[in-house]
Amino acid sequence: MPSLKEVKTKIDGVKKTSQITKAMNMVASAKLRGAQDKMEAFRPYTAKFNEAMGTMSGNMDASAFPLMEKREVKTVELVLVTSDRGLCGSFNANINVMAEKMMQKFEDEGKKVSIVCVGKKGNQYFQKTGKVRKAYTDIMGTFQMFNARAIAQDVAEQFLAGETDEVHLISASFKSVAVQKPIAENLLPVQPESSEGSESTEGEGGGVDYIYEPSPNEIMDVLLPLYMNVMVYHSMLEVGASEHAARMTAMDNATNACNDIVDELTTIYNKARQAAITGDLMDIVGGAEALKG
């Protein structure tokens, strides 16, 4: 049985760890509020942007726009969005595993794969593979739209130069404080989703025939780069909020685990203390009996 001093030292150490994890939980909770507000405020904009792009591109010739050009896929680029910091459970690991599975799938099909890492954790995971073309680290804590614009522009230049034939965006979707799921979306060639229910609406006589000024082609030339900016920025917002939620949950679990360990160590400490007291009493009784004899 360990000595009283050893157990007492362990109890003090675990209690200090518990204080740290509890403080980190509170910090993550405070940061989550701001990140979640920004994410939820941007979601309607992203949805409307996608709807507008889907409406405009529905009857257009995709080959007229370089960013919408479909070609034989020989090279694939994965834009991986993770956090810069750890201590958030399996959040980053889940995103990295999805990216690794997609990379393996494309390589099995005979396609060349490159990776653009946004966030330090993704870069650390894939750096050893030698497939990281570019990394944007130490920006996830303070990113703004200009960061997303730089990433989207770099990826678009690679696509337009013929260096890549297809680009996929891998990030996370914030469902709730307890649930954050990794997701993969097509980024290039641009294929905006058509607005749902448009066919049924036209059948009921409620369709809208829009008049565009200037021409739809001129508008699309401007909107296509913006569409990529919006997609990348939206993914970064989702990952930012998901990171804080995952860290809050992880630190709460760590605090509870520390409390359980303290309870177990306290039980061990009490048993050791009782054994020590019993030993002292037996020595006293033994000494008294020896004096009587």
* Tens digit of each residue's pLDDT (9 = 90 or more) over 46-100: 998 888 888 877 667 777 788 888 889 999 999 999 999 999 999 999 999 999 9
For residue 194, CA distances in Å to 64, 172, 173, 175 come to: 18, 23, 21, 23
Q: Where are the beta strands (DSSP E) in the chain?
A: 75-81, 112-118, 132-136, 166-174, 180-188
Paired sense of beta strands 166-174 and 180-188, if any = antiparallel
Query: How many Å apart are CA 122 and CA 102, to the nearest integer?
Result: 14
Query: How many Å apart are CA 227 and CA 51, to the nearest integer?
Result: 11
- Predicted confidence (pLDDT) at residue 293 exceeds the cutoff of 90: no
Chain segment 205-262, per-residue pLDDT in tens: 444 566 777 777 788 888 888 999 999 999 999 999 999 999 999 999 999 999 999 9
Is the dihedral angle over the CA atoms 33, 38, 39, 45 positive or is it negative? positive
For domain 28-192+209-249, the CATH superfamily is: ATP synthase, F1 complex, gamma subunit (3.40.1380.10)
Please tell me the predicted confidence (pLDDT) of residue 205. 40
Poorest-pLDDT segment among 113-127, 226-240, 259-273:
259-273
Length of the chain: 293
- Predicted confidence (pLDDT) at residue 290 exceeds the cutoff of 90: no
Query: In the chain, how many H helices and how many E strands?
Result: 6, 5
The one-letter amino acid code at 40 reads E
Q: Is 88 a catalytic residue?
A: yes
Question: Can you tell me the mean pLDDT for 2-21?
Answer: 90
Mean pLDDT score across all residues of the chain: 88
Query: How many Å apart are CA 202 and CA 70, to the nearest integer?
Result: 29
Residue in 88, 103, 118, 156 annotated catalytic:
88
Please tell me the predicted confidence (pLDDT) of residue 3. 79
